[in-house]
């Protein structure tokens, strides 16, 4: 389990790998050199807005918080989904794909992996999905107990669970330490639904993945013709 000082060490290492001074990196994220130095020295927390800015310049939230990258081998899936331009169509096909994957796994496996359970929870709630709510349910805690575990007041905790706000780096690290789920999923920085699908994609045999990709292509063509 890492602590916040590890996050700060990774931040300093990233800056040095880029060959940037504190002032130069500060400019990239819209801060003064003094403001940025407070962050590197741990005097000011990395808030959610700054996490998003770091992510946008190449320092991923996952690398910063977890100290690792998540590289899922799902290039053909990504290509198939990215070719669907209509947002509503993409959302519909992604949901159907999730339902197919979850049902297939339930029929053919005796044990549900953590990522399949996550996918199943996504399938159930979809547009109202909350990563924090999912983790809380996995820990079998109510909101008050979960808030206490994170050292938060209940009002702030509820805002985080409903995703009205997103966690700062310290809270995000705590969530990663207790759940081991990809930190960026708690912030929904990119296409979180696709990212969760990608996390289980390699669980399927190549021939089954090919069938799923064929389903995506066929559905997309059918919807376009309507």
**What is the pTM assigned to this prediction?**
0.91
Residues 6+ apart with CB under 8 A from 218: none
Give residue-wise pLDDT tens across range 25-64: 999 999 999 999 999 999 999 999 999 999 999 999 999 9
Q: 165 φ, ψ to 5°?
A: -135, 165
Q: Which pLDDT score, from 0 to 100, does residue 112 have?
A: 73
Distance CA 163, CA 89 (A): 24
Chain centroid to CA 41: how far? Answer: 26
Place 4 in a pLDDT band, splitting at 50, 70 and 90.
very high
User: Domain locations in the chain?
Assistant: 4-66, 75-225
CATH architecture observed for domain 4-66 = Orthogonal Bundle (1.10)
Q: Which pLDDT score, from 0 to 100, does residue 111 have?
A: 66
Instruction: Check: CB of residue 222 under 8 Å from CB of residue 141.
Output: no
């Amino acid at each position: 389990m890492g602590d916040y000082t590890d996050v700060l060490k990774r931040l300093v290492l990233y800056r040095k790998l880029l060959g940037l001074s504190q002032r130069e990196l500060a400019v990239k994220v819209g801060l003064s050199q003094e403001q940025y130095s407070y962050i590197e020295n741990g005097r000011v927390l990395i808030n959610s807005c700054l996490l998003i800015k770091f992510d946008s310049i190449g320092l991923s939230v996952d690398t910063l918080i977890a100290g690792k990258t998540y590289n899922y081998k799902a290039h053909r899936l990504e290509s198939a989904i990215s070719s669907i331009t209509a947002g509503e169509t993409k959302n519909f096909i992604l949901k159907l794909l999730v339902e197919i994957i979850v049902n297939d796994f339930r029929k053919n496996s005796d044990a549900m992996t953590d990522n399949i359970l996550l996918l199943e929870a996504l399938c159930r709630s979809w547009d109202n999905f909350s990563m924090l709510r999912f983790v809380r349910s996995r820990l079998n805690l109510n909101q008050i107990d979960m808030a206490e575990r994170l050292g938060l007041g209940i009002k702030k905790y509820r805002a985080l669970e409903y995703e009205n706000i997103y966690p700062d780096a310290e809270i995000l690290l705590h969530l990663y330490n207790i759940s081991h789920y990809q930190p960026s999923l708690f912030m929904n920085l990119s296409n979180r639904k696709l990212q969760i699908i990608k996390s289980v994609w390699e669980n399927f045999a190549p021939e089954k993945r090919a069938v799923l990709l064929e389903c995506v292509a066929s559905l997309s063509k059918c919807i376009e013709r309507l």
